[in-house]
Structure 1
Amino acid sequence: MITRTGRRLALTAVPAVLALAVGVSSPASAEEPEGFQINLEQLNDSGSKGTAMLSLRGKELTVWIKSEGMVPGQPSAQHLHGSTEGHDFHCPDANDDTNRDGILNNTEATVDYGDINISLTVSGDTGADSGLAVDRMPKADAEGKVSYKRTLTVSQDVVDHIKDLHIVQHGIDRNDNDKYDVEGAGKSELDPKLPQEATAPTNCGMVEGAAVGSIPVGGVETGGGPAEDAGTPRALMVGAGGGVLLAAAGSLAIARRRNALVATRTRNGGGAA
């Protein structure tokens, strides 16, 4: 009689788990955001690194970035580069320094990572024309860390080709004086009114198509604190698949605890609960 009770409890949990699994693929799940993680790796021996997360719900794209090793107190131009027409672009490396001057400038790197698709400004326009709007780009703090979050409306082309895009941040300090100046690397080839240090890429990361379930629960690991400080929701870090597994584990755990309690009471001469 006790064994049958335990079996009934265990079997009761199974339909609940299956119902949750079916719910993930139901029409309501279409409202869940699609998420991606990007690991930002240094360019130009900058020492800069970071992590970015993209959350796409319909045509609403939310971008979180946490990076370190940036030039303290200086603005960091940042963009989504790449193609929405199926072209294959990727992050560059030191071999793309075609003039062999020791600095990978933006023009040299663009051959690899493509033109600007979205300018990741803190306010206002996000088009390619705002690529050098340094007054509307995020500034690194005194420790050279950047924390950024913004939600914007994107085109259907971006939605369809989100995995073909990647993030690039700009700004290096060639002469280690904690500022952008022409003494470090001369004038920018993009705008002679800007130092080369302000426009040269400092890191790059490609959208690899990682599911939200693979994003570390610990947040963006750049030494800048948990991602929630920048508004990163826990739901994005866990993902729909993780939610089903947690719910399933919870249901089975309850059944097991119930079975153990019944068995203990039987051994002690008590009745079933």
Structure 2
Amino acid sequence: MISQRTRRLAVLAALPTAALFTVGVSSPAFAESDTPAFQLDLEQLNDSGSKGTALVSLRGDRMTVWIKSEGMVPGQPSAQHLHGSTEGHNFVCPDGSADTNKDGILDNTEATVHYGDINIALTVSGDTDAATSGLAVDRMPVADADGKISYKRTIKVGQDVVEKIKDLHIVQHGIDRNGNGEYDFDGAGKSELDPKLPQEATAPTNCGEVKGASVGSVPVGGIETGGGAEGSGMSPGMTAGATGAASAAVAGALFALRRRKASGASAARTGGAA
């Protein structure tokens, strides 16, 4: 894991946001202000082909998150979070060696050992609590027809996040292993988080570390392991009831998307016949 730490770069705080977003994605303009910010370059996991750039800025207890990513599964929701620790522990984005069961899929439980538990759920609306919204896929961004996501939200955060922002990472989830354009069980089997869900819906697709994290907190006992490694991983603070509700939300969101696609196809056929 030492090599992963040494890849971290110098902090880019206090640079204008316009300068920060000249790399990473084809559409660099996230913001026009000169608010000091931290950049995260999102790099693919699971050979997903996904990449992106994120910006996190802090003003008092308000955190604004911009994300632009591409290579996502078109028309499918992407769970996304700030992962990591605000207690001085050290986490990193994983690489292929984190696939400990050697099944060819880096699942979320394996990855959580490296990038840590959810700290904030980056929903488009509603609360952002890890326990209640970690799997709230119905409130997560949906990739457009080209597989792109553009996200911006300002969230009230605690002082621990403000002080330890360099220790947190952004992770987006959702892969299309069999290339059929949707999350299903044929691509990668069942999710280790819930057998009712496809692995494709919960596996991480990319991860980005705050640049300059190496000058953040000192590692405590080496690479810390996320509590989710033995539990849900995606949202380790959930009770059994909350996990069930979150699973239902995921299933409901996927079902709604499939119905919408089916309705559109039916309408197209009817129009063509007429």
Deviation per CA, 1:198-223, whole angstroms, max 9, x where unpaired?
0000000000149xxxxxxxxxxxxx
1:166-177 equivalences under 5 Å are: 166-177=169-180
1:106 aligns with 2:75: no
Aligned-pair distance for 1:193? 2.2
1:85 alignment partner in structure 2:
87
C-alpha separation between the residues in 2 aligned to 1:176 and 1:93? 22
Paired letter, 1:97: D
- Structure 1 segments unaligned to the other structure (5+ residues): 1-31, 211-273
Paired letter, 1:127: D
Aligned-pair identity in percent equals: 79
2:142 alignment partner in structure 1:
139
1:229-248 equivalences under 5 Å are: none
C-alpha separation between the residues in 2 aligned to 1:191 and 1:35? 36
Aligned-pair distance for 1:33? 3.9
C-alpha separation between the residues in 2 aligned to 1:190 and 1:34? 37
TM-score of the superposed pair, with normalisation by structure 1: 0.64
1:95 alignment partner in structure 2:
97
SS of aligned partner of 1:118: strand
Runs of 4+ in 1 over 3 A off after TM superposition: none
Paired letter, 1:154: V
C-alpha separation between the residues in 2 aligned to 1:140 and 1:185? 20
- Structure 2 segments unaligned to the other structure (5+ residues): 1-33, 214-274
SS of aligned partner of 2:88: coil
From 38, 48, 51, the equivalent of 2:50 is 48
Aligned residues: 179
2:156 alignment partner in structure 1:
153
1:14-93 equivalences under 5 Å are: 33-93=35-95
Deviation per CA, 1:4-32, whole angstroms, max 9, x where unpaired?
xxxxxxxxxxxxxxxxxxxxxxxxxxxx8
1:164 alignment partner in structure 2:
167
C-alpha separation between the residues in 2 aligned to 1:98 and 1:145? 30
1:197-236 equivalences under 5 Å are: 197-209=200-212
Which structure has the larger Rg over C-alpha atoms? 1
From 184, 195, 200, the equivalent of 2:198 is 195
C-alpha separation between the residues in 1 aligned to 2:153 and 2:167? 20
C-alpha separation between the residues in 2 aligned to 1:193 and 1:131? 17
From 180, 185, 194, the equivalent of 1:182 is 185
Aligned-pair distance for 1:70? 0.2
C-alpha separation between the residues in 2 aligned to 1:139 and 1:158? 26
SS of aligned partner of 1:179: coil
Q: Is the helix fraction higher in 1 or 2?
A: 1
Deviation per CA, 1:50-74, whole angstroms, max 9, x where unpaired?
0000110011000000000000000
Aligned-pair distance for 1:165? 0.3
Deviation per CA, 1:230-268, whole angstroms, max 9, x where unpaired?
xxxxxxxxxxxxxxxxxxxxxxxxxxxxxxxxxxxxxxx
